[in-house]
Amino acid sequence: MKKGDLEASLAHPLLQRVERHRRRAGRVRDDVVVMAHGGGGKAMRDLIDDLIVGELVADPTATDEDQARLDLATLARTGDRLAFTTDTYVVSPLFFPGGDIGRLAINGTVNDLAVSGARPVALSCGLVLEEGLPIEALRAVLRSMRAAADEAGVTVVTGDTKVVPRGAADKLFVNTSGVGVIPRGVEIAASGVRADDAILLNGFLGDHGAAILLARGELQLEAEIQSDTAAVAGLVAELVSQVQIHAMRDVTRGGLAAVLNELALASEVGITVEARALPIRPEVHGLTQLLGIDPVHLANEGKIAFAVAASDASRALSILRSHPLGRDGAVIGRARAEHPGVVTLDTGFGGERILDVLAGEPVPRIC
């Protein structure tokens, strides 16, 4: 090959793009994040290519644009509407039993899409890094995000990175947005609960909030409790394909009490919950009793509450319990025409009490 031919070949845009990624891989030599990593120069390019693209992005040759480009024809073949959501994660500590901030961000955004009945397709990732964050901690979070995305069947397609000085953030904040496609004929809305509907839950309450409390090491207590962070899209897809879901929410901040109050208000129905039907681990029950916290107010990160017609309740419960994320599912209550907008808890001792929403989160920075 002549010199001129070689130069022409290397000038091909695709080869240049691939070569850039090859040159940058492994170039981050710092032990911690420094301000130069957010300055727009070579240090930032190295951080993005080596860590963020290298660890997080499935196709590193498709990241040269400032935006992701999704094929409309492909999306339209699976549904007739787009679902779009965004969330920001500031959990402390970054790593906790059962997960970390990266897995939490992927799963949380996937779940926000899934409870609309949507099939999650693509996510964005925005990172705010504090100067001094260990590079290996960042790498571990990014690897965790990639693993969670692969498990959920989604792809991170675009993102952004900012670095702030020491003290301007707490190590690492993550924003993830997501796009999904809602299949034709699927109509799930917070206003969809009907009187006499059954209310179901797919598993134990309060695991995530309890795990974060213990992981902070402030209580000097020991218990084997892991976060329940998980992507529920597969479970929701099975439910939607076999049962008509009237309303569905993922049970996160504010716990079950907050979610049921939102559904009751939006649907203008009353909801009664059976206290004895609520699935709660003994370890979580003991911890919350000790601290004076009700598990119905604790955050979860892999739980969904949903409403179906009473005639479909048994079938929906069977679907739940046949799935790994629903084995401990239960019918926990019902909707009624009386007392619209009010959620009550049947104590099992012949009385009811109002299940209200707390003024604030009992465990701050849990997601």
Give the chain's domains with CATH numbers: 20-58+77-182 (3.30.1330.10), 190-354 (3.90.650.10)
For 328-336, what is the mean pLDDT?
98
**pLDDT recorded at residue 172:** 98
For a pLDDT cut of 90, what percent of the chain falls above it?
Answer: 80
Please, what sign has the CA dihedral across residues 92, 95, 96, 102?
A: positive
- Whether the Cβ atoms of residue 258 and residue 244 lie closer than 8 Å to each other: no
Summarised one tens digit per residue, pLDDT across range 295-307 is 999 999 999 999 9
| pLDDT number for residue 14 | 47
pLDDT band with cut points at 50, 70 and 90 for residue 21: very low
CB 210 within 8 A of CB 285: no
Given a cut of 60, whether residue 6 has pLDDT beyond it is no
Q: Minimal CA–CA distance to 231: which of 178, 268, 284? A: 178
**pTM for this entry:** 0.91
* pLDDT of 151: 97
Residue type at 131 in one-letter notation? E
Tokens coding 193 = 């609960």
CA distance 192 to 184: 17
Confidence check: pLDDT of 3 > 70: no
Nearest in space to 271 (alpha carbons), one of 359, 157, 150, 190: 190
Rounded to 5°, the CA angle 113-117-122 comes to 35
Strand partners, 162: 128
Q: What pLDDT does 10 receive? A: 44
27 has a pLDDT exceeding 90? no
Considering Cα of 177, then 103, then 172, then 161, what sign does the dihedral take?
negative
Tell me how far apart the terminal alpha carbons of the chain are, to the nearest angstrom.
Answer: 57
Sequence-ordered strand ranges (E) for 30-146: 81-89, 95-96, 99-100, 119-130
Q: Is the pLDDT of residue 273 over 70?
A: yes
Q: State how far the alpha carbon of 219 is from the alpha carbons of 214, 215, 223, in Å.
A: 7, 9, 11
What pLDDT sits at residue 2? 53
Of 160, 189, 237, 198, which is closest to residue 331 (Cα–Cα)?
A: 198
The model's pLDDT over 221-263, given as tens digits with 9 standing for 90+, comes to 888 999 999 999 999 999 999 999 999 999 999 999 999 999 9
**What's the confidence (pLDDT) of residue 349?**
84
For β-strands 119-130 and 198-201, DSSP reports them as: unpaired
Average pLDDT, the chain: 92
Residue-level pLDDT at 271: 98
Whole-number pLDDT of residue 222: 80
Instruction: Yes or no: say if 231 and 213 are a contact pair by the CB < 8 Å rule.
Output: no
pLDDT for position 63: 61
Average pLDDT rounded to a whole number, residues 269-295: 95
In tens, the pLDDT along 153-208 reads 999 999 999 999 999 999 999 999 999 999 999 999 999 999 999 999 999 999 99
Mean pLDDT across 106-132: 98
In sequence order, what E strands does the chain have? 81-89, 95-96, 99-100, 119-130, 155-164, 172-182, 198-201, 247-250, 270-274, 304-308, 330-336, 343-346, 352-354
What backbone torsions phi and psi does residue 356 show, to the nearest 5 degrees?
-95, 175
- Selected residue with higher pLDDT from 176 and 8: 176
How far is residue 197 CA from its own chain's centroid? 27
- How do residues 29-68 score in pLDDT, each as one tens digit? 899 999 999 999 999 999 998 889 989 987 766 667 888 9
Mean of pLDDT values over 109-126 = 98
**How many Å apart are CA 91 and CA 72, to the nearest integer?**
35
pLDDT above 80 (res 8): no
Q: Among residues of the chain, what percentage have pLDDT more than 70?
A: 92
Strands 172-182, 81-89: pairing is: antiparallel
Q: Name which residue leads in pLDDT, 3 or 115.
A: 115
> In the prediction, which pLDDT does 310 show?
98
CB 367 within 8 A of CB 91: yes
Reference 279, options 252, 293, 300, 259; nearest CA is: 300
**HEC assignment per residue over 166-192:** CCCCCCEEEEEEEEEEECCCCCCCHHH
